[in-house]
Structure 1
Amino acid sequence: MPFLVFQASFIFLIGMMFFVFMICAMFSVDSLKKIAYDFGGINENETNNSYHESIRGFVIMVMLFFIAFFSSQCWFFEVIYRFYQYLEDRESSFAFNLEPEFSMP
């Protein structure tokens, strides 16, 4: 159960990071330039057309990375949840009858 909580919180955080990045990409040019320079190494001193193409490519690559990472985390959550259900089912389906082995004559 703790693994499910941890994975669910991680999925929530990844979703929030994607949402914040999308807001930055839509409304704040300065923050997008700073993120592109810090993480993508895209320099603002390039020619204007090349710089805009680089920014667009950076935004698309980051969005694809977030989507792929989010999808893999959802898949991990499903695997953990199915394993949790399997263990819970196995735990409740044992019907041991131990009386013959441990009965006293």
Structure 2
Amino acid sequence: VLTFLGLLAILIMIGVNTGAIRQLAQDYYGLEQDGLTPDEFNHALSTFAVLLVIFICISGLIEAYFLEVIYRFYVFLKERETSFNFNFDTCTPGFTPNNPPNYDGMLG
């Protein structure tokens, strides 16, 4: 969910401001236009964009994995909470699964 919102925010930011991807590349990738030809700069900028998308996808997969682990643990706890199998018949006084032999007298 957070990864999707982050991707959506980046797409809106790029749609509103055309220089946003350049600013992101400059801030996070250290990409400077000085000393680069326009073709080299465009290639480096597209490399940054591809790496950014790959990073967002990987972080989304990691987030989904952790959510799956947390959900599985929740289900495990829920099953443990509701799976107490009390067999009250075995706790009834005078009831035993196998009737013991009857003893007549003290020495049997």
2:53 is the alignment partner of 1:63: yes
2:4 is the alignment partner of 1:35: no
Q: What code does the residue aligned with 2:73 have?
A: F
2:39 is the alignment partner of 1:49: yes
Contact residue 25 and residue 32 of structure 1 kept, 8 A:
yes
TM-score of the superposed pair, with normalisation by structure 2: 0.72
Question: Does the C-alpha gap of structure 1 residues 26 and 56 become closer, same or farther in structure 2, counting only changes over 3 Å?
Answer: farther
Quote the Cα distance in structure 2 between the aligned partners of 1:27 and 1:51. Answer: 22
TM-score of the superposed pair, with normalisation by structure 1: 0.74
Tell me the SS of whatever aligns to 1:29.
coil
- Percent identity of paired positions between Structure 1 and Structure 2: 26
Work out which of the residue numbers 75, 85, 88 in structure 1 matches 2:78: 88
Q: What code does the residue aligned with 2:67 have?
A: F
Rg: which structure is higher? 2
Quote the Cα distance in structure 2 between the aligned partners of 1:32 and 1:85. Answer: 42
Q: What code does the residue aligned with 1:30 have?
A: G
Q: Deviations over 1:35-91 (max 9, x none)?
A: 100001010222111000000000000000000101110111011101110111011
Structure 2 unaligned residues grouped into runs of 5+: 94-108
Work out which of the residue numbers 24, 42, 53 in structure 1 matches 2:13: 24
Contact residue 36 and residue 58 of structure 1 kept, 8 A:
yes
Report the number of matched residues.
Answer: 90
Structure 1 unaligned residues grouped into runs of 5+: 1-11
Q: More helix by proportion, 1 or 2?
A: 1
Q: What code does the residue aligned with 2:40 have?
A: S
